[in-house]
Structure 1
Amino acid sequence: MDVLITLLLVAVLFAILGSGVWIGLALSGVAWISMAMFSARPAGDAMAVTIWGASSSWTLTALPLFVWMGEILFRTRLSEDMFKGLAPWLENVPGRLLHTNVIGCAIFAAVSGSSAATCATIGKMTIPELTRRGYPEDKVIGTLAGAGTLGLLIPPSIIMIVYGVSANVSIAQLFIAGIIPGILLATLFSGYIVVWALANPGLIPPATEKLSFKEKLYRSRHLLQVGLLIVLVLGAVYSPWVTPTEAAAVGVLGALVLSAAQGSLTRRTFIDSLMGATRLFCMIALILSGAQFLTLAMGYLGLPRHLAEWIGSLGLSNVMLIAVLTVFYIVLGCFLDGISMVVLTMGVIMPTVEKAGIDLIWFGIFIVLVVEMAQITPPVGFNLFVLQGMTNKQVPWIARVTLPMFFLIVAALALIYTFPDLVMWLPRSMKGTG
């Protein structure tokens, strides 16, 4: 009976999503139907209480602030300055300026938290510049699409905040746990560029400048402002006296000061950034509210408990459980955005994960990695959509040239499973000294 109910709800959900209804409303609609059909509690009362509870969480306040910070930086000359500061140091590295995609995305990810914003901001600068210098278009776009996903893994991360709220896990601990995996994934991306460049030396344009060490240091002055903001935000996040919400407020203030110092803070850019952040957060809040209501409805039906018991009865080892969940999230990522994936499935998956004895901090990083895969898988891949709008290339072509980066994320997932201390060492160390 549980299987039939689950299949019915899934069919209704996909039917509503396929009709073009907003994701948040679709989730609320399925929850309403399930409570009306299979529960004695009035659906209206449950919806009102649940949506209010989901929307009034103080921890969730960090989310719109980090979104706003990213929107402010999106409208500054940050990307141009980063290119000027990084380019001189990459002339002698195999792949040369292709690495600006990875390094630029990693740096911007540390002050943004959004994959789409990271991809768009760095892409606006690197795509025209690298294309003009003669770098292969498929590698320029493919590495950018993959590196843009670092916006989710390198803290501060919007998806980590959503997961932390959904799973009742420390957001600060999640941020700390994402540092080493973020560096690992960026290293894998750059390593791929090095290997590809060594195998295809004729496709990389020759060095255009010969700068002395002193000249390189002078060019690096362009990185000072973004470096200062990164130190400011991350220092606040990891401080024992500052909450993630207050750290996000520090980030917004720092972004405003940076924008003003660059001369790009005008009344128009301020309003545009505020409205852009408001629109994005309203969409996220609606999805969170709808998913919270659906989670409550599933709880009344007993589906999470039954699913956990069923998976537990299969006798899956932890590695098999993680493998099954990876495939599940990859398939789900073809149809839903990352935030929807997290909030829609946490109520169902979390009891199973806890029963298996998997650490919830580690599982949060696992979730971020599989959501990163969703950012570059068609038909619903946000980074693919961003690059389609910037390059006028078709999504299938962009997805094809991004495929190596997808497999590198899979490799990173295998590494953090094999060596869990890649995720857990820093949180344990910081907790032990705190």
Structure 2
Amino acid sequence: MDMYAGSLAVFVLMFLFLGVGVWLFVGFLLLSVVGLMLVVGMDIPRIGAIMSQIMWRSASAWELSAIPLFILMGDIIFHTDMARRLFRGLAPWVNHIPGRLLHANIGGCTLFSAICGSSVATTATIAKITAGELRTRGYDQDLALGSLAGAGTFGLMIPPSINMIIYGVLAEVSIAKMFAAGVIPGLILASLYAGYIIVRCLINPSLAPASERAGWPERLASLIDLMPIALLILIVLGSIYLGIATPSESAAMGLAATLAMALVTRQLSLPMLVRALMSTARTSAMLLSLMAAASFMSAAMGYMHVPQDVSMAIGQLDLAPYMLILILGLFYVLLGCPLDGISMMVMSVPIVLPLVVNAGFDPIWFGVFLIVMAELGQVTPPVGFNLFVLQGMTGFSMARLSVAAFPFFLLMCAAGALFTVFPQLVTWLPNVLF
């Protein structure tokens, strides 16, 4: 077969399966099996042996055990009053800043992301509290919902991020280092969003109606409401960065603390626990089966020399490293329109990562860059999950929500460019801690 014919056949099959709406798990398996048969000429028994070995090894990876634990932790928190207390605790600290309670969206999503790990869960939980509250108080709806859609993506960046766990397994890099790498970029994104809200509200104060400012006694009293979230962050992230626990062990510790808090506050019930467990089982089964299929697809592409062919084709273009990242960024923006972040990652990492590493980029840095690209996908139609969540909770059209989220989309693009020009913003903290 011609040098690039096999790789071209693989990409044609990939977009064919996506185009006809085949489930990604099934599509990855079909792509791998058909590709190995047509391109490599491998027989079915040999394919079956490779498939069973690789998928079992992927599905039983210890690092992935953190995923259902973090998901269950987020589901239990969703059914308690922790998010409401978080909003109540933040309000006195932000109502003197231009934008006032709009900053509770940013701060709430930032803090909740540090115990949740999911963009959709972060958006849904914070929106459940703030969307109606801000509408009742007369805040501009487009700015309120846009900030929720944008800040909800922090669940992908700020550790413990499920997407970072998946990238760490796919790229074979330290998950603890990935968690550390996401801290500063996450805070930078939060600062950019807050700065944008401040500028908009200074130009047009009517976007955030004036309210009575809280005094220091009220602010200090509000710290009690922030304590549960702060304690969970200390347990989950502190145990990792102090070297006390692995990410999986810290997830178990965080889950135990969450259950204890729900029990002490008399919010833990059997029906609530059953709902959380069922939701966790569905989400975890979807993610882990996708990971297993993606691992087999990665191995199949190796047999078909797809990464080598793509690398050689791009190498012949003689692109500068930054031009390569620009092209990949545009590719991911387009890919994020029809695909969610995890699907985009598991599909592309086996092909793209060798190119990026060969161009001289750190795989930890590229993981954070890829997370930014996945965040963009959360707010771009037609498959922007954060937009879907807000549409279901508010009834607003997808078009209006997309327009509201667009400024935050641009801020994410600016952040991606900033992290590319100054990679130390990503790599400094993991290098210091580990």
Which bin holds the TM-score, normalised by the shorter protein?
Answer: over 0.9
For 1:51, which of 50, 55, 58 is the aligned residue?
Answer: 55
The letter for the 1-side match of 2:55 is: I
Conservation of the 8 A alpha-carbon contact between 1:159 and 1:339: yes
Q: Please say if 1:100 is aligned against 2:104.
A: yes
Distance, in Å, in 2 between the alignment partners of 1:366 and 1:198 is: 31
Residue pairs, 1:397-412, within 5 angstroms = 397-412=400-415
Identity percentage of aligned residues? 44
Distance, in Å, in 1 between the alignment partners of 2:419 and 2:32 is: 35
For the residue of structure 1 that corresponds to 2:101, the secondary structure is helix
Distance, in Å, in 2 between the alignment partners of 1:7 and 1:400 is: 36
Distance, in Å, in 2 between the alignment partners of 1:301 and 1:267 is: 50
Cα offset, 1:7, TM superposition: 4.0
For 1:417, which of 416, 420, 423 is the aligned residue?
Answer: 420
Find the counterpart in structure 2 of residue 157 from structure 1.
161
Distance, in Å, in 2 between the alignment partners of 1:21 and 1:263 is: 44
Find the counterpart in structure 2 of residue 198 from structure 1.
202
Cα offset, 1:294, TM superposition: 1.4
Conservation of the 8 A alpha-carbon contact between 2:181 and 2:427: yes
Find the counterpart in structure 2 of residue 238 from structure 1.
241
Change (3 A) 1:405 1:393: same
For the residue of structure 2 that corresponds to 1:263, the secondary structure is coil
Conservation of the 8 A alpha-carbon contact between 1:84 and 1:220: no
Residue pairs, 1:235-314, within 5 angstroms = 235-314=238-317
Distance, in Å, in 2 between the alignment partners of 1:263 and 1:309 is: 61
Find the counterpart in structure 2 of residue 34 from structure 1.
35
Cα offset, 1:261, TM superposition: 2.4
Find the counterpart in structure 2 of residue 25 from structure 1.
26
Cα offset, 1:345, TM superposition: 1.0
Distance, in Å, in 1 between the alignment partners of 2:294 and 2:398 is: 28
Conservation of the 8 A alpha-carbon contact between 1:25 and 1:286: no
For 2:120, which of 116, 129, 135 is the aligned residue?
Answer: 116
Distance, in Å, in 1 between the alignment partners of 2:261 and 2:253 is: 12
Find the counterpart in structure 2 of residue 316 from structure 1.
319
Q: Deviations over 1:294-349 (max 9, x none)?
A: 11111111010111122122221111111011111111111111111111111111
Q: Deviations over 1:99-157 (max 9, x none)?
A: 11100000000000000000000000000000000011111111100000001111110
Query: Between Structure 1 and Structure 2, how many residues are aligned?
Result: 430
Change (3 A) 1:2 1:252: farther
Bigger mean CA offset, 45-54 vs 116-125 = 45-54
Which structure 1 segments of 5+ residues have no match? none
Distance, in Å, in 2 between the alignment partners of 1:26 and 1:397 is: 33
Residue pairs, 1:367-382, within 5 angstroms = 367-382=370-385
The letter for the 2-side match of 1:183 is: L
Q: Please say if 1:361 is aligned against 2:364.
A: yes
Q: Please say if 1:168 is aligned against 2:172.
A: yes
Find the counterpart in structure 1 of residue 69 from structure 2.
65
Bigger mean CA offset, 42-51 vs 381-390 = 42-51
The letter for the 2-side match of 1:347 is: P
Distance, in Å, in 2 between the alignment partners of 1:309 and 1:210 is: 61
Conservation of the 8 A alpha-carbon contact between 1:2 and 1:303: no
The letter for the 1-side match of 2:218 is: E
Distance, in Å, in 1 between the alignment partners of 2:19 and 2:314 is: 29
For 1:179, which of 165, 180, 183 is the aligned residue?
Answer: 183
Distance, in Å, in 2 between the alignment partners of 1:284 and 1:139 is: 32
Change (3 A) 1:233 1:347: same
Find the counterpart in structure 1 of residue 11 from structure 2.
10
Distance, in Å, in 2 between the alignment partners of 1:394 and 1:289 is: 36
Conservation of the 8 A alpha-carbon contact between 2:95 and 2:214: no
Which structure 2 segments of 5+ residues have no match? none
Conservation of the 8 A alpha-carbon contact between 1:304 and 1:351: yes
Q: What TM-score does the superposition give when structure 1 sets the normalisation length?
A: 0.96
For 1:351, which of 347, 350, 354 is the aligned residue?
Answer: 354
RMSD: 1.4
Bigger mean CA offset, 310-319 vs 41-50 = 41-50
The letter for the 1-side match of 2:294 is: A
The letter for the 2-side match of 1:161 is: I
Distance, in Å, in 2 between the alignment partners of 1:327 and 1:212 is: 47
For 1:130, which of 131, 134, 159 is the aligned residue?
Answer: 134
Cα offset, 1:15, TM superposition: 3.2
Distance, in Å, in 2 between the alignment partners of 1:305 and 1:16 is: 23
Distance, in Å, in 2 between the alignment partners of 1:143 and 1:31 is: 40
Q: Deviations over 1:33-65 (max 9, x none)?
A: 111211233322222222112111111111111
Cα offset, 1:13, TM superposition: 2.8
The letter for the 1-side match of 2:327 is: V
Distance, in Å, in 2 between the alignment partners of 1:202 and 1:119 is: 25
Distance, in Å, in 1 between the alignment partners of 2:116 and 2:430 is: 21
Conservation of the 8 A alpha-carbon contact between 1:354 and 1:360: yes
Q: What TM-score does the superposition give when structure 2 sets the normalisation length?
A: 0.96
Q: Please say if 1:141 is aligned against 2:145.
A: yes
Cα offset, 1:239, TM superposition: 2.7
Distance, in Å, in 1 between the alignment partners of 2:408 and 2:350 is: 30
The letter for the 2-side match of 1:26 is: G
The letter for the 1-side match of 2:137 is: R
Change (3 A) 1:338 1:421: same
Find the counterpart in structure 1 of residue 231 from structure 2.
228
